[in-house]
Structure 1
Amino acid sequence: MDSLANPVPLLRDLIRIDTTNPPGNEVACVRYLTERLAHRDDLDVTVLGPSADRANLIVRFPGRGVAPPLLLHGHSDVVPVTGQDWRHPPFEARLVDGEVWGRGSVDMKGGIAMMLSSLARLHEAGQRPAGDVVLAVVADEEHGSIAGARWLTREHPELFTGIRYAVGEEGGAGIELGGRRFHPIVVAEKRACWLRATLTGPGGHASRQAPAHTAMGRLGHLLTALSGVRLPRHREPAAERMLTELAGHLPEPLAGRLLAVRDDANDAPPAGLPEDQSLQIDSLLRNTVSPTVVRAGDKINVVPGEVTVDLDGRILPGDHSREEFLGELRALIGPDVPLELLVEGFPVDQSRIAEPEFGGFYETLADITRKADPDAAPLPMMSPASTDAGFFAQLGIRCYGWLPLKVPAGSPYRTLLHRADERIPVEALEFGTQCMTALLRDHR
Structure 2
Amino acid sequence: MTSSATHPTAPETTGPAAGPVALAQRLIRFETVNPPGAERACVLWIRDLLDAAGLETRLLSLDPERPNLIARLPGRGLAEPLLLHAHVDVVPVAGQHWTRPPFAADVVDGELWGRGAVDMKGHLAMMLAALLRLAGTGTPPAGDVILAVVPDEEAGSGTGARFLVERHPELFEGVRHAIGEDGGAELALGRRLRLHPVVVAEKRACWVRATVRGEPGHGSRAAGPGGAAHKLLRLLTAIDGGGLGTVMTPVVDRMLAELSAVLPDPYARHLAAFRADPDDAAALAVFEEGDARYLRSLVQHTVNATVVHGGTATNVLPARIDVDLDGRLLPGDFGREDFLARLRERAGCEMDLEVLVEGEQMPEPRLDGFYDRLAGILRAKDPQGVPFPMVTTASTDARVFPRLGIRCFGWFPMRHALDRSYRGRLHCPDERISVEALEFGADCFHELLAGHG
Q: TM-score, normalised on structure 1?
A: 0.88
The yes-or-no answer on 1:97 pairing with 2:109 is yes
Q: 1:385 to 1:171 in 2, by over 3 A?
A: closer
Structure 1 residues 429 and 202: CA distance shift in structure 2, 3 A:
farther
Mapped partners of 2:216, 2:22: distance in 1: 54
Alignment of 1:384-423 (within 5 A): 384-423=393-432
Residues 359 and 215 (structure 1), Cα distance of their counterparts in 2 relative to 1, 3 Å cut: same
1:234 deviation in Å?
Answer: 0.8
What is the aligned partner in structure 1 of residue 42 from structure 2?
A: 29
For the Cα contact (< 8 Å) 2:183–2:395, is it kept in 1? no
Distance 1:80 1:215 in 2: 35
Query: Where do 1:12-411 residues align within 5 Å?
Result: 12-40=25-53, 42-170=54-182, 175-178=187-190, 179-197=192-210, 223-264=236-277, 266-268=279-281, 270-294=284-308, 309-333=323-347, 336-351=350-365, 357-411=366-420
- C-alpha distance 265-187 of structure 1, shift in aligned 2 (>3 A): closer
Aligned-residue offset at 1:306: 7.4
- 1:289-333 superposed Cα distances (whole Å, 9 cap, x missing partner): 223345679999999997654432211111111111122222344
Cα gap change, 1:264 to 1:139, in 2 (>3 Å): same
CA-atom RMSD in angstroms: 3.0
**1:188 Cα deviation after fit:** 1.6
Residue 278 (structure 1) shift: 1.3
Question: Which sits farther off after the overlay, 281-290 or 165-174?
Answer: 165-174
Deviation at 1:394, TM superposition (A): 1.7
- Corresponding residue to 2:438 among 420, 426, 429: 429
Shift, 1:214, TM fit: 8.9
How far, CA to CA, are the matches of 1:157 and 1:313 in structure 2? 29
Q: When the two structures are aligned, how many residues end up with a matched partner?
A: 436
Name the SS for the 2:61 alignment partner.
strand
Assess if the C-alpha contact under 8 Å between 1:30 and 1:57 holds in 2.
yes
Q: 1:216 to 1:401 in 2, by over 3 A?
A: same
Partners of 2:321 and 2:20 lie apart in 1 by: 45
Please, which moves more after superposition, 223-232 or 193-202?
193-202
Counterpart Cα distance in 2 of 1:54 and 1:28 = 9
Further displaced range: 89-98 or 174-183? 174-183
Is the contact between residue 298 and residue 330 of structure 2 (CA under 8 Å) also seen in structure 1?
yes
Contact 1:187–1:350 (Cα < 8 Å) also in 2: no
Moved more, 11-20 or 371-380: 11-20
Contact 1:189 1:347 in 2 (8 A): no
SS of the equivalent of 1:100 reads strand
Structure 1 counterpart SS, 2:255:
helix
Aligned equivalents of 1:216, 1:171: Cα separation in 2:
36
Rounded to whole Å, the distance in 2 between the matches of 1:216 and 1:132 is: 59
* Secondary structure of residue in 1 paired with 2:57: strand
Give the match's secondary structure for 1:327.
helix
Identity %: 52
Q: Distance in 2 between matches of 1:143 and 1:420?
A: 19
Counterpart CA distance in 1 for 2:185 and 2:302 is: 23
CA distance, structure 2, for counterparts of residue 183 and residue 248 of structure 1: 15
Distance 1:437 1:204, change over 3 A: farther
Return the offset for 1:124.
2.1
Note the C-alpha offset of 1:176.
3.8
Q: CA 1:20 to 1:197, structure 2 compared with 1: closer, same or farther past 3 Å?
A: farther
Query: Which structure 2 segments of 5+ residues have no match?
Result: 1-10
State the match for 1:354 in structure 2.
Answer: none
Whole-angstrom distance in 2 between the partners of 1:148 and 1:300:
44
TM-score for both structures, normalised by structure 2: 0.86
Judge conservation of contact 2:184–2:392 (CA < 8 Å) in 1: no
Structure 1 residues 39, 301: CA separation in 2 closer, same or farther (over 3 Å shift)?
farther
Distance across 2 between alignment mates of 1:211 and 1:412: 51
Question: Aligned-pair distance for 1:45?
Answer: 1.9
Report the secondary structure of 1:287's partner residue: strand
Shift of 1:162: 0.5
CA distance in 1, matches of 2:268, 2:371: 24
Write the deviation string for residues 171-227 of structure 1: whole angstroms up to 9, x where unpaired: 79775434112211111221122234456789999xx86986998887666555433
Deviates more, 1:68-77 or 1:308-317: 308-317
**What is the CA–CA distance in structure 2 between the aligned matches of 1:51 and 1:39, rounded to whole Å?**
25
SS of match in other structure, 1:231: strand
- Secondary structure, counterpart of 1:195 in structure 2: strand
Structure 1 residues 160 and 199: alpha-carbon distance in aligned structure 2, compared to 1, 3 A threshold: same
1:37 deviation in Å?
Answer: 2.6
Distance 2:302 2:186 in 1: 24
Q: What amino acid does structure 1 have at the position aligned with 2:38?
A: N
Paired residues of 1:106 and 1:417 also in contact (CA < 8 A): yes
Which residues of structure 1 form unaligned runs of 5+? 352-356
- Evaluate the alpha carbon distance shift between residue 31 and residue 247 of structure 1 in structure 2; reply closer, same or farther with a 3 A threshold: same
**Separation (CA, whole Å) in 1 of partners of 2:121 and 2:215:** 47
* Cα separation, 1, equivalents of 2:298 and 2:372: 23
